């Protein structure tokens, strides 16, 4: 099969791939430059093949296409043009696009890129029941869309994982969430006063792998409460070459989330 132009190959002839998932906080409102040039320059330097965005607020399909083109991505898809959209941009064609908003808090967008099935999602920050319903719909979508191979789901899950439970054993996260619920009774992020791990447990039970935990440099010191993830189907584990938070001067300033990246060999 002929490789699409632009694929980088390593010394063994493998095609190196890189994906970034990033909640850009209200459409990266902190970058007030016309065309978001600070963000665009940072993204060009990162040189990802695929980007999944959350909180692409105030973008239209056309303005997202323009932003993506500014960092070398001629393909882009926006889930919706109101509220808190998710989005995907890519160096390569995005096909078999599915946009879901109904029966969800924010929703998700799904597309296939060079045979990889990509989902960019954003779950509710307010109620664990909503997150459970959302992830059940997402996992059922995956179940009904062919073999469980070459899947990558990522975004802002607004919930923590049982694999990080040791990080929260000191009770500080539960205490913070409890105080937030006392101030805002509409919030329901604890289950009977305890941290809810159900969303990520369902993902893990489905068979997905937390990619960041595969990285030899992964450290719990790099996050307070980890809610941004890239999950991969088991067949991609052997292709994984790296993945973690991106922490630099830009990411420390321009969003309340740190982007997550993953690299693998195609």
**Can you name the residues that pair with 231 across neighbouring β-strands?**
153, 210
Q: In this predicted model, what pLDDT tens digit does every residue of 122-177 receive, in sequence order?
A: 999 999 999 999 999 999 999 999 899 999 999 999 999 999 999 999 999 999 99
Say if 5 falls within a structural domain. Answer: no
> What is the mean pLDDT of the segment spanning 103-128?
97
CA-wise closest residue to 162 among 205, 106, 133: 205
- pLDDT score, position 203: 99
Say if 6 falls within a structural domain. Answer: no
Average pLDDT, the chain: 95
Residues spanned by the domain of 232: 16-265
> What is the mean pLDDT of the segment spanning 205-226?
92
Q: In this predicted model, what pLDDT tens digit does every residue of 97-108 receive, in sequence order?
A: 999 999 999 999
Q: Confidence band (pLDDT; 50, 70, 90) for 219? A: confident
Say if 7 falls within a structural domain. Answer: no
What pairing do the DSSP bridges indicate for beta strands 116-122 and 151-156? parallel
Sign of CA dihedral 214, 220, 221, 222: positive
CA-wise closest residue to 151 among 162, 141, 160: 141
Give percent of the chain with pLDDT exceeding 90.
91
CA-wise closest residue to 228 among 137, 157, 172: 157
Q: In this predicted model, what pLDDT tens digit does every residue of 56-83 receive, in sequence order?
A: 999 999 999 999 999 999 999 999 999 9
Say if 256 falls within a structural domain. Answer: yes
Per-residue DSSP letter, 4: P
Cα separation, 210 vs 215, whole angstroms = 10
CATH number at 231 reads: 3.60.10.10
Q: In this predicted model, what pLDDT tens digit does every residue of 191-206 receive, in sequence order?
A: 999 999 999 999 999 9
Say if 241 falls within a structural domain. Answer: yes
Say if 1 falls within a structural domain. Answer: no
> What is the mean pLDDT of the segment spanning 38-61?
98
Total domain count for the chain? 1
Cα separation, 195 vs 180, whole angstroms = 13
Q: What is the pTM of this model?
A: 0.93
- pLDDT score, position 2: 37
């Amino acid at each position: 099969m002929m490789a699409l132009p632009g694929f980088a190959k390593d010394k063994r002839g493998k095609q190196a791939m890189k994906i970034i998932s990033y909640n850009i906080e209200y459409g990266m409102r902190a970058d007030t430059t016309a065309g978001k040039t600070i963000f665009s320059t940072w993204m060009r330097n990162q040189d990802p093949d695929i980007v999944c965005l959350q909180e692409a607020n105030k973008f239209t399909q056309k303005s997202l296409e323009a932003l993506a083109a500014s960092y070398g991505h001629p393909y882009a898809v926006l889930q919706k043009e109101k509220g808190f959209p998710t989005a995907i941009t890519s160096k390569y064609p995005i096909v078999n696009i599915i946009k879901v908003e109904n029966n969800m808090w924010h929703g998700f967008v799904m597309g296939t890129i060079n045979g990889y099935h990509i989902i960019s999602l954003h779950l509710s920050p307010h109620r664990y029941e909503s997150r459970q319903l959302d992830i059940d719909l997402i996992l059922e979508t995956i179940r009904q869309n062919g073999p469980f191979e070459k899947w990558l789901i990522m975004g802002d899950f607004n919930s923590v994982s049982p694999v990080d439970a040791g990080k929260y054993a000191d009770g500080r996260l539960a205490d913070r969430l409890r105080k937030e619920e006392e101030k805002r009774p509409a919030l329901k992020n604890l289950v009977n006063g305890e941290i809810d791990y159900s969303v990520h447990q369902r993902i893990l039970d489905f068979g997905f792998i937390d990619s960041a935990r595969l990285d030899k440099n992964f450290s719990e010191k790099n996050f307070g409460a980890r809610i941004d993830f890239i999950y991969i189907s088991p067949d991609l584990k052997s292709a994984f070459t790296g993945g973690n938070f991106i922490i630099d001067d830009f990411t420390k300033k321009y969003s309340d989330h740190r982007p997550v990246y993953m690299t693998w060999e195609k």
